[in-house]
Structure 1
Amino acid sequence: MRNGIITRKNPANMPGPVGNYTHITKIPRNAELFVTSGQIGINQDGQFPESMNEQISNTFQNINKVLESEELTAANIIKVNIWATEEIDWEHMDFEWEKLFHTEYPAMTIGYLSALGLPEIKVELEVWAAKP
C-alpha cells in the first residue's frame, strides 16, 4: 500500500502473475475514480513515430501528463488496459513500465488487435486511477 488507499495482492491459492501486474487491486468506497481515454504514442507536435518502441515511450509520457493534470501519480493507478496492433518489444515495454510503476504494479490486461482508431496508432493504454 503506497499511497494509503490502494492495496495490491496476489492470492496464494493461485499461480503468480506472468508479468509486471497484480491480480487484485482494491480501493476503498470513498475514493475518487479517474478513467482515462486510451493514451497513444502521439508526440507533442501531433505526429506518430513509425517505431512501436517510440510510440510506447510517447504513450507513457502522455500518461504521466494526464496523471499530473489531476495531481495523480503512478501510485494512484489501479488498472491498465494495453492494446497493440503488432508484437510488443517486452524489454522496452518493461523498461518504460518500471520507470512509471517501480514495483507497485496495478492490475493489467493486454490484447492484440488488427487495428486501433487510426492506422498510425500501434499501441494504446487505458489507465484507471483512484485517490481519496
Structure 2
Amino acid sequence: MRRFHNPPPHRVHPPIAGFHHQAEVSPSRWLVLSGQLGIRPDGHVPEDTIEQLAVALENVRQNLLAADLQVKDVVKLTIHLVGEVDMDRLRVELARWLGKHEPTLTILFVAGLVGPSFRVQVEALAAAY
C-alpha cells in the first residue's frame, strides 16, 4: 500500500508545489536509485540546467522501467542543483515528468556535483507491491 498525505493545515503548512509531505508505504518491494545525472546514453551532457534535469528524469524513468516500475511508483524524489536555476522552468519540467503524481520531494542547492559540467542530480525511491 502507498498512501500520500499531508498533516492538517493547522499543524503543518500546505505543500508549496506539486508534492506531499508524507508517503506511507507498507509491505512492498523497494527500489533505491543512485543519483542520476543529466547524461544522455551517448555520453552528451547538455549545458542548460533544465535540459540536464529532463535527461536526469528520463534516466530515472529508464531505471524504473528496467525494474518493472513506473513514475507513479516513485515515493520520494531528491533534486540536487548547482548554480542559478529558473525555478519556473524547473516546476514545468517536473510537472511534465510527474503528470498528476505528487510524491514527496526535496530540492537542494549544492556547491557542486561529481564534475564541473554537472548541474543536476536526481535521486529516487520507488515502492511497489
TM-score by length of 2: 0.92
Q: SS in structure 2 opposite 1:114?
A: coil
Q: Deviations over 1:77-129 (max 9, x none)?
A: 01011111123222222222122222221111111111101111100000000
- State whether structure 2 residue 46 is matched by structure 1 residue 40: no
- State whether structure 2 residue 93 is matched by structure 1 residue 96: yes
Q: SS in structure 2 opposite 1:127?
A: strand
Q: What CA distance in whole angstroms lies between the structure 2 residues aligned with 1:38 and 1:109?
A: 13
Equivalent residue, structure 1, for 2:15: 17
The letter for the 2-side match of 1:11 is P
Farther-moved stretch of structure 1 (112-121 vs 82-91): 82-91
The letter for the 1-side match of 2:15 is P
Q: Structure 2 residue aligned with 1:108, among 74, 94, 105?
A: 105
Q: SS in structure 2 opposite 1:82?
A: strand
Q: What CA distance in whole angstroms lies between the structure 1 residues aligned with 2:85 and 2:73?
A: 25
Equivalent residue, structure 2, for 1:128: 125
Structure 1 stretches of at least 4 aligned residues deviating more than 3 Å after TM superposition: none
Q: What CA distance in whole angstroms lies between the structure 1 residues aligned with 2:50 and 2:83?
A: 11
Question: What is the percent sequence identity of the aligned residues?
Answer: 26
Equivalent residue, structure 2, for 1:27: 25
Q: What CA distance in whole angstroms lies between the structure 2 residues aligned with 1:89 and 1:69?
A: 31
Q: What CA distance in whole angstroms lies between the structure 2 residues aligned with 1:110 and 1:63?
A: 16
The letter for the 2-side match of 1:16 is P
Equivalent residue, structure 2, for 1:68: 65
C-alpha RMSD over aligned residues: 1.2
The letter for the 2-side match of 1:32 is R
Equivalent residue, structure 2, for 1:54: 51
Gaps spanning 5+ residues in structure 2: where?
none
